[in-house]
């Protein structure tokens, strides 16, 4: 079974509209310098596992109250036994929201076809041509594009979201992302937090102000059916 590294028992923002908890799985194949889950990404082995029997007992103890589980990371689709993990959650009648960076389209498609996911949030790190630069990894841009198409064609509620980091993501990047994903249902502009960043230099970057974040959201509005803002 997968290694659960964290459990947020009440996470209303992670699965809007439902009483939900969030589980954190360790490890990630991206090295985004602004990531605020550095230990989870770089050194998951240093974080204690939450025993699976404890996690399942937690789910069973919330029967009739808890409605959903958000599965996040790190990157959850790196976990070899992710299908089994989601299955035991679904067997308890719970909804599942999956957070993903989109780098594993085959596995994403498998889980969707197995009806193991009810909602998807896919992080859009940058315009496709800037992915390697922004993620600090040898990401396959075609895989990212394919995952975005899988999400859009899934028939499930979904959102794409971009963390806006000064010096990395600006208005023109939002325009480029918008042209790539034009017509998608929901796009979320997410405020950058300089706390606990993977690259310590990013801990010294001042986030965009409220008005600047709103301007970035306005830049996205012509391309998406709905644009949300998170973190301001």
CATH of the domain at 32: 3.20.20.70
Domain membership flag for residue 186: no
Longest dimension (CA), the chain: 48
DSSP-derived pairing of the beta strands 186-191 and 226-230: parallel
Domain membership flag for residue 207: no
Report the C-alpha gap between 104 and 146 in whole angstroms: 9
Residue 38's φ and ψ, nearest 5 degrees, are -55, -45
In this structure, how many other beta carbons lie within 10 angstroms of the beta carbon of residue 36?
A: 17
Domain membership flag for residue 96: yes
| Structural domain that includes position 75 | 4-163
Domain membership flag for residue 227: no
Domain membership flag for residue 56: yes
Work out how many domains the chain is built from and give that number.
1
Domain membership flag for residue 188: no
């008005």: which residue's tokens?
211
Domain membership flag for residue 193: no
Domain membership flag for residue 220: no
In order along its 232 residues, the chain shows pLDDT tens digits of: 788 999 999 887 889 889 999 999 999 999 999 998 888 888 888 889 999 999 999 999 989 899 999 999 989 999 999 999 999 999 999 999 999 999 999 999 999 999 999 999 999 999 999 999 999 999 999 999 999 999 999 999 999 999 999 999 999 999 999 999 999 999 999 999 999 899 999 999 999 999 999 999 999 999 999 999 999 8
């Amino acid at each position: 079974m997968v290694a659960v590294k964290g459990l947020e028992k009440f996470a209303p923002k992670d699965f809007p509209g439902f009483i939900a908890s969030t589980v954190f799985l360790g490890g990630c194949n991206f090295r985004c310098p602004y990531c605020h889950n550095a230990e989870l990404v770089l050194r998951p082995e240093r974080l204690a596992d939450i025993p699976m029997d404890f996690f399942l007992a937690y789910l069973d103890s919330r029967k009739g109250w808890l409605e959903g589980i958000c599965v996040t990371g790190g990157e959850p689709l790196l976990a070899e036994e992710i299908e089994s993990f989601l299955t035991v959650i679904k067997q308890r009648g719970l909804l599942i929201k999956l957070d993903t960076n989109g780098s594993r389209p085959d596995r994403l498609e498998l889980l969707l076809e197995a009806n193991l996911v009810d909602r998807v949030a896919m992080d859009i790190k940058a315009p496709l041509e800037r992915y390697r630069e922004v993620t600090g990894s040898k990401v396959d841009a075609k895989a990212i594009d394919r995952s975005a198409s899988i999400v859009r064609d899934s028939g499930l509620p979904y959102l794409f979201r971009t963390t806006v980091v000064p010096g990395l993501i600006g208005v023109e990047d939002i325009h480029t992302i918008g042209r790539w994903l034009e017509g998608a249902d929901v796009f979320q502009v997410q405020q950058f937090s300089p706390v606990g960043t993977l690259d310590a230099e990013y801990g010294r970057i001042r986030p965009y102000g409220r008005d600047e974040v709103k301007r970035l959201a306005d830049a996205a509005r012509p391309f998406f059916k709905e644009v949300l803002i998170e973190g301001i």
